[in-house]
Every structure is written in structure tokens, then in C-alpha cells.
Structure 1
Amino acid sequence: MNSPSYSCAICAAIIGHSPEHDNSADSEGEDTPFRAASAYKSWTKEAQYQFSKALPMAIAGSIRSWTSILELRALGHVGYKPLAGRSLALLIVNVTGYPIMYGLGGALESLCSQAFTNPQRNKRVGVYVQHSLWVFLIVNIFITVLWLNPGVVFRMLAKTDSEVIEYAKTYLVFECIYFPCVIVQTCLKRFILAQGLMRPTIWFELSGLIAMFVSLQLLVPSSGAGLGFIGVPLSATIAYIAVLVANILYICYWPCRAEWGAFTMAGFKRTTHLIISLGVPCGVSGIASYGFADLATIAVAALGPESLAIQAVLNSSKSAISRTGSYLGMVISNRVGNLIGARKPIRAFLSAKVSITVTCFACSLLALAMLLFQKTIAAFITKDELLISGLLPLLPLLVLVVVLDMISNVLTGVLRGQGRQGVAAIIRVISLYVIALPLAYALAFYLDLGLYGMWAGLSFGFVLITMAEGWLVFASDWSGEVERSIQRINGPKSTLVAVNSHYDETAPLIQGSHSNPERMC
């Protein structure tokens, strides 16, 4: 149902023209200054809105990053072998566990955000989350069995220090405890974010940071009542439980619980199909992004525990810093999804453009700061001079990867908001595994560049991802995405109606539903 009016609307969006001004006044022939003023007003209005939502999420992402950094720093001060053990444990978790988190989270971002603003209000947001949790409970059985019996994977690492492997096994035991907390909190967070509620995330993550800091101070020091190494994963467990509890309490005692609806298994089969079709590509994207570094970890394991420890620092630092980008990706994903669900394709495209522009500017400042304070960053993570000397030459590449990863997170967020996770997954697999991986191994082993070659290859892969996803976003058929959203949420027999409705486009996110004030949280 792509009519000529839609083509004109999309062209107007490219120059920043607001849908509020797509009326008869335009057909009468407005002069250029008026159009410029209208475009400027649309951009500034959208930028202000996104800033009000992105700032809390950026703060929350930074807090979450500091939680990870505290854990990393505690291990760095315990010794390089515990740090290397954590790296091996993360190898298994990233490949077999976290794709589940990315899959469920990505699927819920598309489904919940579009369902929340869908005119046919039927509290599908809570139902989607409930069914996602049931799917996870089933899958988690197999994950737990694997993590408690990791011998198959560790036998592949014959040259790895046996003490490092024991540290890794210990970490996996604790992962079995707190990983379910991470997944449940991920699903509950999407329930809240779909309603445009970003600020509570700050308090959730702050509770985890405080719990991590206090636990590390009490449990890690080897003197007194401290437990040494074992205190670090125990502190992480306490922190993730604290975040989950804070999330549950918020949903239980704030009006946003109205979207939860009754516990029901009705429509579970169809919801599961949607979760799988949207979630599998997100999981593949997660494996593609994090699995690349994990493959490097397998190779680096043969170089000795010192190199493995450096790789652990690089991986953990990338994950910690880039997490802010993933949080910003959630903001734009929910924003685009809300606008598509409300049948506002022009505003959805404008929202994407504003978010990408602001992210590129912010990443430039981040890169400058990281390059200026390289030595300070390395010294903060560890006091081991051997690790510091190995880290410094690699930090510029880390900066490049982090910046590109943050920008690509926002681009992927736009695609998730549209429900196009599949194409994003294809891009990541081709860029990282077909192109970047062979390049990285050639640089690392054939040219003897070691870790530097690995990260140079990873950098090139993210360059390709950013360019390809950027092209996809700007070449999108936004009115077509609205049609697909209606069929996805309301059923395959739904027809497109009221795409150019007269709803206030910002109302679902800024003010909640006018028809139900109790939904304002």
C-alpha cells in the first residue's frame, strides 16, 4: 500500500520535514526560510526528546560499566591468573549464554515497543514478557548442564595453565547462579523501556554498583574476613541479584504494572514463533560481535597467561565501555518501535537521523578522551607493569573498536525498532567472520602481529558493519515497516489503517495514554 503520498512523506523526512507540516499550507507553496525553520524545529524537538531519554540510559549504562570495571579491577589486583580464568569463563558464557539474552532482549524491544503504541490496546506488552520468561526457563536447563560440565571446551585448550582452568570453572559455577537474574532483569527492563520509562534504569544499575562495591570491600581482601578470588564472583552474584530485586519492586509498586496484564499462556505458540523469528537474529548478532573476540581468546591462550590476561582486559574494557552504546541503542530502538507502532513513519525516520548524528558527535568526544588518558586507563585497571606495557600499544585500536561499536549499536537499535534484526545479523556475520576473521588471523599469525593483528582485524570488521547498517537505515521503506508492524502485532490478516493518524506523535512516550492516566509512571 505504498501510495505517492508516502513517497512524498519519506522525501520530506530526509530533509527533516515534520509530519505536522505536511498539510495544505505546503501545497500552497511555502518559501525556503519557512521550510528551513520547520526542519530546524523538528530536529530540535526530536533532539530534546531523545536527550531526555538518552541521558538517563547513558548514565545507567555508565553505572553498569563501572560495575563491570570494579569486578575487572578486583581480579587484576588478585593476579593475572584469576583474570585469565575469568576470560576463559566468559568465552563459554558469551557463546552459549549471552546470545539468549541478546535474543530475548532484541525480540522484546521490537514487540513491546510496537505493541505499546498500537491503537488496538490489549496489554500485549506484559504477555510478551511473560512468554519470553517461559522460553528462557526451558533453555536455561541446557545452559546450566553445559556450564557445570565445561570439560569438552577446556580440553580444546590443552596448552592453557591448569590453575587458570580451575579459576574458570569456579566462575562458571557462579554464572549458573546469577545468569538467570541477568536474563529475567533483561526482559523486565524491556517491559519498562517500551513505555518510555528510562529514568528508573539508573536506580536499578545504581543498586547493583553499590552492592558490587560494598561486597568487594568486604569479601575480596585476603586479610581479615576476605575470601580472596572467590569473593569476586560472589560479589558479582550479589550485585546482579540487587539489580533484579530493584526492577521487580518498581514494576510491582508503580502504575506501569497496569501493562502487565494477567498471567496467561494464551497465544504462547504464536508469541514463541515471534520471539524465535526476531530473537534468533539478535542472538546471532551477539555471537558475531562477542564471539569474534572469544575466538581470539582461544588463539591467545596458546601464547601464555600474560597475553591471555591482556586479552581479558581488552575484552572486558570493550564490553564495559560499549555497554553505554547498547543502552543508547535501546533508547532509539524503543523510540522507533513506538513511532512505528503508532503508525508514524516520518517521525520514526527523523528520530533515527537525530540519534545517529548525536551519537557520532558524542563518540568523537569519547575517543579524544580515551586517547589523551591512555596511561591513566591502563594504570587504573592493573598495577602489573607487564600488563600495562602490553596494553598501551593496543589501546588506540580498543578506542576505534569501542567508537565503531557504539555507533553500530545505535544503527542496530534502529533496525530492531523496525523489526529487521535478521538483516543486521547477516551484516555482522559476513563482516566479522567472512572478512574480518581471516584478516585478523593473517595479521596475527602470518605477519606475527599477535594481539595487535587480532584487534586490527576486528576494527576493520566494525568499519564494514557501521557502513552497511548506516546505508540500510537511510534506505529504509518506513511506511512499509509500519505495515509489517501492524501484521506482526495484530495478526497476519490485519490491514493498514490510519497510518497518517492525527495522534500526537510524542504523546505515547512523553505523557502516556491520554485515555488512561494511570499508565503514566
Structure 2
Amino acid sequence: MSHALPIKARRCQDHVPGTSSVSSSYLSSSPIAQDIIARDLAECLDDYHGGNESWDSDTVSESESDSQEMTGTLGGPLISRPSGIAYGTLRPTIAAGATGTPALNPRDLIKSRHEERSLLRDNHILPPKHPRPFEESRWKQLYRRLFSTKVPASSDDDFGPALSRASTKALESTPLLSNSYPPYSPTESETEFQWEAAVAANILKTTWQREAQTLTQYSRSLIVTFLLHYSVTVTSVFTVGRIGRLELGAVSLATMTANITCYAPVQGLSTCLDTLCAQAYGSGHKKLVGLQLQRMTYLLWMLLLPIGTLWWFSGSVLGRIIPDPDTAALAGLYLRVLILGTPGVAAFESGKRFVQAQGLFHATTFVLLVGAPLNIAANWFFVWRLGFGFAGAASAVVFTQNLLPFLLFLYVRFVEGMECWNGLSRRAFSNWGPMIKLALPGMIMVEAQYFAFEVLTLAASQFGSAHLAAQSVLVTVTSTTFNIPFPLSIAASTRVANLIGARMSGAARTSAKVALVAGCLVGLFNLSLLSSLRFKLPYLFTNDDEVASIVSKVLPICAVLQIFDSLAAISHGLLRGIGRQGIGTFTNLFSYYLIALPISFSTGWYLGWRLEGLWFGIAIGLAVVSSVELWYLHHADWEHAVEEAEMRLRSDEAHSTEFK
């Protein structure tokens, strides 16, 4: 068992801006990112003192001072803020790991104090919020036994003496709570003291009911947001499927090409903003967050020039690969129209990181609540009302891709988030080298994952237009179901990281078990859904009987795949929570390229299983991923993860004080 830091030391550490966010305590600081922030700060301050440019000197704002003051009064805060989120995730993917610790705001700290009090009440250290009546009905007793979050007390002396020892060791004076709760509510200082003492004594426990409740609260809004974002793709496939088989196959081919050549590089490069924006915000220089946003957006827009050129001539390029020239021509037409939407994609990917660094995760949800219905209306308007047909579906996608960043801009401008914006700056065109160096690993990782899966679409095209159209339906269905366990994995990662950062390894293990059970339940739900609707789901996307027949034959494999898919997503989230995301990265890439793809090609061609063989290989690959990661989690040293989290927190503190 690791020894707790002295309370005084923990408070001093909490006063360092950017080092107190336990939600990302398992992430190490990036020296490259620190160097970028330091350079930007030095250049901007030089311009400010020289009078060449109007620049906010980034002094700590009043709200941030309040945040720091509140942080200093909390020991081991439990912040429910996730990191490294990429909404609208496609098939099996690894959430890019951000580095750096975002600064806490008063809203985060209020939530943290609520979490702390709940755990203290559950462990019988604070008085209950609602005292239990002397007499209860049997139904209430049964309900409390099943759903109560209280930790069962094995004896009357479980917590009192342990808390007394910890408190005496920490401050040599302890206002002990007796076994019978006092008739008054504890003050803020008493609550703070009890939390510090309980953490130092390592006596806090949790229950599966508490963790199930917390994971539900963390994940429900994320699931809604992910599904809303992916609904843009689903709506397009729905619409095109009603036009014809050829068009359905073409949109699958075009989407695969767009993912590999544009969306994956853009998403991968923008992941460096998870680090840069978080560390700029966490260091107290909030205006630098807007500078990083501008710099990345300009870089991505420049990258779009060669991508747009490739897409313009994509019809002839795909015609050399795809046996059906008509499908290749339609895919090329779709991509030509999509060129107009790429600037919006780049701006939205950067904008999401801009608001996430400030903890405004609900901003994306509000934007999508408006954008998703408008996307449905746009598909109807362009395809059916104006009669654009297949090109109209692409036009609707372009409309939505440019609408989303505009809505996000309106949210930041008129609701919240403007504190990190200082206007357009010529500094956005400098200091690109270190940023590109930081961004390339994320791009390579995301690109490798996309390519490993999207190559199956190329393989499906070799079997004919019907199989390519069926592949489009299968990818859409399985990607939709994946957007349920993946947000749950982010919630599990956040919760486990919080508990590890608060030195509660036992509670972290309990939370991990609950997350895995939840993953199994989600997998079983998806399995039941795909199995029961095996013969009905295909006709939601197409009226072609041959395509529907192929989809219904492959859906049982996709249904079984849901179990492995959910477990793989949850287990990788848990690995992120204990700071072992590298294990999941290498396991996924190894399984995709050395197991899944060889099996897919062997069964698809040599055994003649065609599309069923391609998906069989993916199912085997995901089974290997989930098995390896679950085995590692079972044998992981969670106490060592706590010690490493401490070391990374101290590293964050050292890096922050270098240029603070």
C-alpha cells in the first residue's frame, strides 16, 4: 500500500495551476507542449511590451483565482472531466491520449466536493443526508439492500479508530466523529479535514451501486452526443440507400476514401490540441488556447489543398482499383462535392478541442442537438425537394459539416467560452514545427486504425456492387452500436483515473469491475438487437432484396462481434485510466494487422466466404484484443498505478512552475 502525501504538501501541490486535476492525473506532461506554450508566451509578451500588438498578458482572472483558492481547500479532488474525446467515432478505435492537466473551475470543484461528501457518507464518516427512520417496511429494506450506495459496516469500530490514527498522524489533533452521528451538519472545514484524513488512512471504499450510478451519470450525455454526431453519417446512408444499390455501394467507397485520406489525418493531427489547449488553459494563460486553435485550423486548411486535388481526380484513381467503373465514377462525384465541406470538418475538429479544454463538453451536445435535425432536413431538401439525387446527399453532408463549426462559434460567442479567445493573431502562422512534431504520432495512430478497418471496404468491392452496398449497411449498423460502449469506456476511464489519483486503488478496482459488467450488458443488448432484427434492419437502408439478403447472412457474425467489441472498448478505457493506454494501442494494431486482416482475406477469398469471411476475421481480432487486455487488467498492479500517478502529478507541477 502506498503512503499518502502529507496534507500540507498536498495543499501546496493543489495551489499550482494545472496540477490539481485528478481526472487527468494519469497523464504525463509533454515537454514539447510545454516548450510550445513557453515560446508563445514569450513572443506574445515581447509584442505586448514592445507595443507592436495588443495582447492580453494572461494574468490570472478573478474566476481562476477563485478556482485556485477553492482547489487549495480540497484534498485529492474527484473531477468528473473526461479527456481526449473525439465525437462521432467510427469503428473500433482508440481514444487518443491527451497529456497535460486542465485547470479546474468552480463548477468542477463543486462537483468534486459533492463526490467527496457522497463517498464520506457512504463510508459512514459523515452523517447521512437523510437519517434512516427507526421502522422501515420490508419493501424499503429490500430496496435499500439492493440499491443503497452505503458501504456495509462489518463492525462498529471500522472507521473511527482508523480515522483517528490518520488524523493524529496528519495534524496531531482530530475532531473525531463518534459512532453515533452528531445532530448537526459538518462545516466545510470539517468535511475537508475528514476527506484528507480518510484519504491518508486509505480507508475509503465504494460499492457497485455507487459506481454504477456514477458511470451512468458520466456516460449518458456522452452516449447521446456520440449518437447525434454519427447520425450525420447514418442519415446519408439512409438517404442514398433509397436511391439504389449502386449509389449505396458508391457512398461506402467514397466514405472509406474520405476517412483514410482526410478525416483520419485531420482527427489525428487535431489530437495534439488535447495537450496544447489543456496545458495552455491549465497554466493560466487562457488566451493561448485560442492561439493554438488558430494555428491548428490553419495547418489543417493547408493540408486540405492536396487532399482536395486528390478528391477531384478520385474517380479515375478509384477506377483503377474498383472493378465496377460506374461505382468508381459515382464515388468520385460524391468526393468532389465533399471537398466543399472539408474546411468545416477541420474547423469543427479544432473547435471541439477548444471548448473541451475549458471543460465545456456540453457545448458540442447543444450544437449537435440543433445540427442533427437540420441535417435530416437538409437531406430531404437537397435529395428529394430539389431533385439533386445522389449529389444531393453529398450536398447535405457539406451543409452539415459547415453548419456545425458555425453553431459552435455562435455558442462560444454568445453563451460561454470567449475568455480563451483574444482575436486573430499573426502568431498563429509561426512555431508550427514543434506542433507538427507533437501531432504526427496521434495522426499515425488514428490513420493506422482507420486503414486497418476501411481496407475491408476495398476488399468488399472486389465481390461486386451488391456486396459493396451490403458492406455500407454493415459498417453503418456496427458503427452505430459501437457509439454506445465507447462513450461508456470514456466514462470508465475518467472514473478510474479519478479514483487512482485520489489514492483509492480498491475503489478503482471496484469501478473497473462494474464497467466491465456494464460492457457485457451493452454487448448483450447489441447482440440481441442485431439478432432479433436480422431480417428487418437491412430494409431500413435498402429496398434491394439481394443486398438485404447478404446483410442478413453477415449480421449474426456482427451480432457476436458486439460482445468482443464492447469488452475491448471498456478494457482499453480502463487501461487509459491506470496509465497503460500504450498496451491497448499496440494490442489493437497487432490484432488488426497480424490477426484480423490475414484471417479476413483467407476466409473471404480462399474459403469463399466473401463478406462473411471479412467480418469473421474482424470478430476474431476483437476477441484477441479483449482477451489480452482483460488478462492484463486482471494481473495489473493497481497500487503501482497509484504511485505512478503521484510521480506524474509531481512532474506536472515541476513543468508548470518552470514557466509560470
With the shorter chain as reference, the TM-score category is 0.7 to 0.9
The aligned residue for residue 345 of structure 2 is 182
- 1:173-322 aligned within 5 A: 173-221=336-384, 225-260=386-421, 273=434, 276-277=437-438, 279-322=439-482
CA distance in structure 2 between the aligned counterparts of 1:375 and 1:111, rounded to whole angstroms = 48
CA distance in structure 1 between the aligned counterparts of 2:475 and 2:263, rounded to whole angstroms = 15
SS at structure 1 position matched to 2:386:
coil
Bigger drift between 323-332 and 424-433 goes to 323-332
- 1:366-445 aligned within 5 A: 366-413=526-573, 422-445=582-605
Seen in structure 2, the aligned counterparts of structure 1 residues 152 and 386 have a Cα distance that, compared at 3 Å, is closer
The aligned residue for residue 466 of structure 1 is 626
CA distance in structure 2 between the aligned counterparts of 1:75 and 1:132, rounded to whole angstroms = 33
SS at structure 2 position matched to 1:215:
helix
- Could you tell me whether the CA contact under 8 Å between 2:315 and 2:328 is conserved in 1? no
Q: Which amino acid aligns with 2:304?
A: N
What TM-score do the two structures reach when normalised by structure 2?
Answer: 0.62
Deviation of 1:433 after TM superposition, in Å, equals 0.4
Q: Which amino acid aligns with 1:303?
A: F
CA distance in structure 1 between the aligned counterparts of 2:293 and 2:515, rounded to whole angstroms = 26
Deviation of 1:251 after TM superposition, in Å, equals 1.6
Question: Is structure 2 residue 205 aligned with structure 1 residue 51?
Answer: no
- Could you tell me whether the CA contact under 8 Å between 2:2 and 2:642 is conserved in 1? no
The aligned residue for residue 140 of structure 1 is 304
Q: Give ranges in structure 2 of 5+ residues lacking alignment.
A: 6-24, 26-115, 124-158, 167-197
Deviation of 1:112 after TM superposition, in Å, equals 4.9
CA distance in structure 2 between the aligned counterparts of 1:338 and 1:190, rounded to whole angstroms = 21
- Could you tell me whether the CA contact under 8 Å between 2:235 and 2:376 is conserved in 1? yes
CA distance in structure 2 between the aligned counterparts of 1:233 and 1:349, rounded to whole angstroms = 46
Q: Deviations over 1:377-427 (max 9, x none)?
A: 122121211111111111122233345334434444455677766544322
Q: Which amino acid aligns with 2:547?
A: L
CA distance in structure 1 between the aligned counterparts of 2:584 and 2:387, rounded to whole angstroms = 45
Deviation of 1:206 after TM superposition, in Å, equals 2.4
Bigger drift between 196-205 and 331-340 goes to 331-340
Q: Deviations over 1:234-286 (max 9, x none)?
A: 11111222222221211222233324566668799888646744x54543443
What TM-score do the two structures reach when normalised by structure 1?
Answer: 0.77
CA distance in structure 2 between the aligned counterparts of 1:94 and 1:121, rounded to whole angstroms = 36
- Could you tell me whether the CA contact under 8 Å between 1:282 and 1:421 is conserved in 2? no
Deviation of 1:162 after TM superposition, in Å, equals 1.6
- Could you tell me whether the CA contact under 8 Å between 1:194 and 1:338 is conserved in 2? no
Question: Is structure 2 residue 234 aligned with structure 1 residue 97?
Answer: no
CA distance in structure 1 between the aligned counterparts of 2:433 and 2:642, rounded to whole angstroms = 26
Bigger drift between 168-177 and 460-469 goes to 460-469
The aligned residue for residue 166 of structure 1 is 329
Deviation of 1:78 after TM superposition, in Å, equals 0.5
Bigger drift between 394-403 and 89-98 goes to 394-403
SS at structure 2 position matched to 1:374:
coil
Question: Is structure 2 residue 253 aligned with structure 1 residue 88?
Answer: yes
CA distance in structure 2 between the aligned counterparts of 1:251 and 1:199, rounded to whole angstroms = 12
The aligned residue for residue 40 of structure 1 is 206
Deviation of 1:23 after TM superposition, in Å, equals 11
The aligned residue for residue 453 of structure 1 is 613
Q: Deviations over 1:19-70 (max 9, x none)?
A: 97899826859xxxx99995235x5555444433311111122223333222
- Could you tell me whether the CA contact under 8 Å between 1:408 and 1:469 is conserved in 2? yes
Seen in structure 2, the aligned counterparts of structure 1 residues 374 and 213 have a Cα distance that, compared at 3 Å, is same
Question: Is structure 2 residue 313 aligned with structure 1 residue 149?
Answer: yes
CA distance in structure 1 between the aligned counterparts of 2:569 and 2:377, rounded to whole angstroms = 31
CA distance in structure 2 between the aligned counterparts of 1:489 and 1:92, rounded to whole angstroms = 43
Bigger drift between 83-92 and 430-439 goes to 83-92
2:225 to 60, 81, 88: 60
Identity %: 24
2:284 to 117, 121, 142: 121
CA distance in structure 1 between the aligned counterparts of 2:405 and 2:332, rounded to whole angstroms = 25
- Could you tell me whether the CA contact under 8 Å between 2:315 and 2:331 is conserved in 1? no
Seen in structure 2, the aligned counterparts of structure 1 residues 372 and 280 have a Cα distance that, compared at 3 Å, is farther
- Could you tell me whether the CA contact under 8 Å between 1:68 and 1:320 is conserved in 2? no
Q: Give ranges in structure 1 of 5+ residues lacking alignment.
A: 11-17, 496-521
Q: Which has the larger helix fraction? A: 1
Deviation of 1:90 after TM superposition, in Å, equals 2.0
- Could you tell me whether the CA contact under 8 Å between 2:322 and 2:461 is conserved in 1? no
CA distance in structure 1 between the aligned counterparts of 2:203 and 2:644, rounded to whole angstroms = 29
Deviation of 1:470 after TM superposition, in Å, equals 4.1
CA distance in structure 1 between the aligned counterparts of 2:622 and 2:531, rounded to whole angstroms = 19
1:69 to 230, 234, 240: 234
Q: Which amino acid aligns with 1:157?
A: I
Seen in structure 2, the aligned counterparts of structure 1 residues 252 and 420 have a Cα distance that, compared at 3 Å, is farther
Deviation of 1:150 after TM superposition, in Å, equals 2.5
- Could you tell me whether the CA contact under 8 Å between 2:266 and 2:346 is conserved in 1? yes
CA distance in structure 1 between the aligned counterparts of 2:261 and 2:434, rounded to whole angstroms = 21
CA distance in structure 1 between the aligned counterparts of 2:430 and 2:626, rounded to whole angstroms = 35
- Could you tell me whether the CA contact under 8 Å between 1:281 and 1:424 is conserved in 2? no
Q: Which amino acid aligns with 2:379?
A: L
Deviation of 1:369 after TM superposition, in Å, equals 2.3
CA distance in structure 1 between the aligned counterparts of 2:545 and 2:597, rounded to whole angstroms = 30
Q: Which amino acid aligns with 1:213?
A: I
CA distance in structure 1 between the aligned counterparts of 2:532 and 2:285, rounded to whole angstroms = 52
- Could you tell me whether the CA contact under 8 Å between 1:397 and 1:459 is conserved in 2? yes
Q: Which amino acid aligns with 2:408?
A: N
CA distance in structure 2 between the aligned counterparts of 1:272 and 1:349, rounded to whole angstroms = 39
- Could you tell me whether the CA contact under 8 Å between 2:527 and 2:563 is conserved in 1? yes
CA distance in structure 2 between the aligned counterparts of 1:131 and 1:450, rounded to whole angstroms = 45
Aligned residues: 474
- Could you tell me whether the CA contact under 8 Å between 2:315 and 2:330 is conserved in 1? no
Seen in structure 2, the aligned counterparts of structure 1 residues 390 and 122 have a Cα distance that, compared at 3 Å, is same
The aligned residue for residue 25 of structure 1 is 162
Seen in structure 2, the aligned counterparts of structure 1 residues 321 and 286 have a Cα distance that, compared at 3 Å, is farther
Seen in structure 2, the aligned counterparts of structure 1 residues 485 and 426 have a Cα distance that, compared at 3 Å, is farther
Deviation of 1:173 after TM superposition, in Å, equals 1.5
SS at structure 1 position matched to 2:417:
helix
CA distance in structure 2 between the aligned counterparts of 1:419 and 1:125, rounded to whole angstroms = 25
Note the aligned Cα RMSD (angstroms): 4.1
Deviation of 1:103 after TM superposition, in Å, equals 1.5
- Could you tell me whether the CA contact under 8 Å between 1:215 and 1:238 is conserved in 2? yes
Bigger drift between 352-361 and 431-440 goes to 352-361
Seen in structure 2, the aligned counterparts of structure 1 residues 176 and 203 have a Cα distance that, compared at 3 Å, is same
CA distance in structure 1 between the aligned counterparts of 2:469 and 2:650, rounded to whole angstroms = 49
Deviation of 1:85 after TM superposition, in Å, equals 1.2
CA distance in structure 1 between the aligned counterparts of 2:285 and 2:560, rounded to whole angstroms = 44
- Could you tell me whether the CA contact under 8 Å between 2:248 and 2:469 is conserved in 1? yes
Seen in structure 2, the aligned counterparts of structure 1 residues 259 and 286 have a Cα distance that, compared at 3 Å, is same
